[in-house]
Structure 1
Amino acid sequence: MKATRNFRRPRVLIVGCGDVGMRCVPLLQHAHVFALTSHAERSAELRAAGVSPLVGDLDERRSLKRLAGLAPTVLHLAPPQKTGDDDRRTRALLSALAMRRAQALPGIRGTPATIAPVGRLRRARASWAQARSLARLANIVPDGLRRAAASRAPLRFVYASTTGVYGDCGGAWIDETRVTEPANARAKRRVSAEQQLRRATARGTIVASIARIPGIYAANRLPLARLEKLTPALVDADDVYTNHIHADDLAAILVRLATHGRPARVIHASDDSSLKMGEYFDLVADAFGLARAPRITRAQAEEQIEPTLLSFMRESRRLVNRRLKEELGVRLRYPSVEDFLREAAGAEEVAKDAAKDVASRP
């Protein structure tokens, strides 16, 4: 019975099921969720969360064969590889997914085609509609036809990109129509992935929606270690605007995109905050009773801060999230960083009081 229920449930494949992917799982409770992982040791953790693990590596195409035809909805949350300007991992994933074979419709010559282009989809749907009408007259349930039509439908595809594709915007407010100008190889690979998905959507092989994501935070993703080490931040005159989204809100946005995202449409998965980087660190420090980060000039930062962290201090922008609210109808649980920190600080005080109460008992 359990196998039958799983067969009937809609299927969703999560590629790159880390922290955010695991937060998506409870939101997909009515679906049979699969997760691609390159770490076999994570299989037990995934099963415990109700996920069917698939061990495979986006850098090893032969390991991706089982993904073909597995699920009609894909959440692609995996980052690109660490070198080059082209996102080879997204290319490998699209190639593996395109290997699914559509069952032949009755009266139509079967082919081992990849996901059908738009013209063929229209002809297949027309044949399906005609056959369905005939079946209704004959009081027949056309299960084979239904499966064939479903196998030819384009995949729903959600991609987790980054706002780094814009490069430095000088602190300007920008929306999703802003031209991409990636300033580093990491962002160029994200642009490559987006372009691959747009082309596949134009061909009719998938229906891809793209979430451009800023800095992700949560209780387990705060810069507490950085603050404890007294890593410097920039003085206000040299500081940059950053953007944020809570990991739970991000998971909800990605799942919403899977059902309501428009083809090849970009959405800013960002909250309403308008903070400079140093302001963000100060808020976190104050909420957790830590010393604020010391401030240094940009010239000093070039000498004292390691290159990867410094790269984030070179880009300044503020994101407009109107599409997120008006098109997707998303209501953020944490509209700003301050909303979360107030809740987190309150929870910490409650925990401290509870610990004191336990310690005072005889």
Structure 2
Amino acid sequence: MPVNQFPHRALPARFRRTRVLIIGCGDVGQRIAHDLLRGPSTVRQHGPRVLALTSSAEKAPLLQQQGMTPLRGNLDDVRSLRRLRGIAQRVIYMAPPPNHGLHDVRMANVVRVLRQGKLPHSMVYGSTTGVYGDCGGAWVDETRPVRPSTDRARRRVDAEQRLLRFGKESGLRLQILRIPGIYAPNREGGTPRTRLLKGLPVLQAADDVFTNHIHADDLARIAQAALWRGKPQRIYHASDDTQLRMGDYFDLAADLYGLPRPPRVTLQQAQQTLPPMMLSFMGESRRLRNARIRQELRVALRYPTVREGLQST
């Protein structure tokens, strides 16, 4: 960010630097931090200081090597999060909810702690487009009511609603990113290659569903843009321009990799051969409108479709 956007110009630089806290510093969180910290030395000197919450002592040195300040804390233990009170002016939350129940108790713990200190100026939450449930292939914008069909998505809705109430009551500027399938060639498990090598089937055209995507680097850029330019209590689709059914996506990837296209099966056959998690994604079809990230966040996607993204290095 330009130097003149940071407050307290009379203070030494180490005190006036904006502090950005990243909660959930996995692959995407680290990409966000990398973008925040990179640039000429004169920019870094006055740019944001990046704090990273981690529950892993082993991961702390890695985060430190990347220029972040690791903070030990466990989202499942509210007592370990007390040091987060008032520690940052801006927060990016990319941590997943627990893998059970209907409520995101981790988000509840973070909100409880944030209430006890000086509030951040803004907060970005990475949610999922799964909150819409099956839309029958219809075009969906951010005003569509949520209708989650899985407990995984219900936990995300719980986190969204908890944060929206918190933002409305406290004045915190909240931006929610609804994120589809994240991919990137340099992301672990980030391409369809492994699935294609296993020869797993996809649905026949009559049963196939529309699927949505975002390259991990573009997602990191969208999150940063929302942090600085997002409107308060605003929802954004962090999605690219791809309009493909799932089977066509895997066919495209197979052609790019020079691999055989996957076999096509009926939905009934897929239910007999594929694991429940994979089947759950085959039961929801929607196409996402992403005009807000362009018009409000002024994001120009580096990888507007999966073709460009899968070919990137």
Task: Establish whether TM, by shorter chain, passes 0.5.
Answer: yes
| Correspondence for 2:291 | 322
2:17 aligned with 1:9: yes
| 1:321 partner letter | N
State whether structure 2 residue 269 is matched by structure 1 residue 303. Answer: no
Deviations 1:156-194 (A, max 9, x none): 110000000000000011101111000000000100011
SS in structure 2 opposite 1:59? coil
Q: Does residue 14 of structure 2 align to residue 28 of structure 1? A: no
**Match of residue 310, structure 2, among 324, 338, 341:** 341
Please point out which of 113, 125, 128 is paired with 1:162: 128
CA deviations 1:62-86 (Å, max 9, x no partner) are 1101111110100000011111111
Question: Which protein is bigger by CA-based radius of gyration?
Answer: 1
- Between the aligned residues of both structures, percent identity stands at 52
Query: 1:257: Cα distance to partner?
Result: 0.4
Shift of 1:6: 3.4
Q: Deviations over 1:73-115 (max 9, x none)?
A: 0000001111111111111011112221x5xxxxxxxxxxxx5
Structure 1 residue 5 displacement after superposition: 4.1
Is 1:18–2:18 an aligned residue pair?
no
In the alignment, is the contact (CA less than 8 A) between 2:140 and 2:289 conserved in 1? yes
Cα shift readout 1:181-217 (whole Å, capped 9, x = no counterpart): 0000000010001101110111125211000000001
Distance 1:74 1:315 in 2: 31
C-alpha separation in 2, matches of 1:184 and 1:234: 20
**1:236-247 residue pairs with structure 2 within 5 A?**
236-247=205-216
Residue 290 in structure 1 maps to residue 256 in structure 2: no
Counterpart for residue 164 of structure 2? 198
Aligned to 2:9: none
Question: 1:176 is matched with which residue: 129, 133, 142?
Answer: 142
Cα deviation per residue 1:265-322 (whole Å; 9 max; x = unaligned)? 1000000000111111111111112221111100001111110110000000000111
Counterpart selection for 1:255 from 224, 227, 231: 224
Q: What does residue 68 of structure 1 align with?
A: 85
2:226 equivalent to 1:209: no
Distance 1:290 1:13 in 2: 42
**Counterpart-to-counterpart distance in 1, 2:147 and 2:87:** 35
Q: Which runs of no fewer than 5 residues in structure 2 stay unpaired? A: 1-11, 38-46
Residue 82 (structure 1) aligned to one of 92, 96, 99? 99
C-alpha separation between the residues in 1 aligned to 2:133 and 2:282?
Answer: 11
More helix by share: 1
Q: Measure, in 1, the Cα distance between the counterparts of 2:312 and 2:122.
A: 35
Structure 2 residue matching 1:75: 3-state secondary structure: strand
Structure 1 residue runs without a partner (length 5+): 103-114, 116-153, 345-362
Contact kept? 2:191, 2:310, Cα under 8 Å: no
Detail structure 1 runs of 4+ shifted over 6 Å in the superposition: none
RMSD of aligned alpha carbons: 1.2
**TM-score (normalised: structure 1):** 0.78
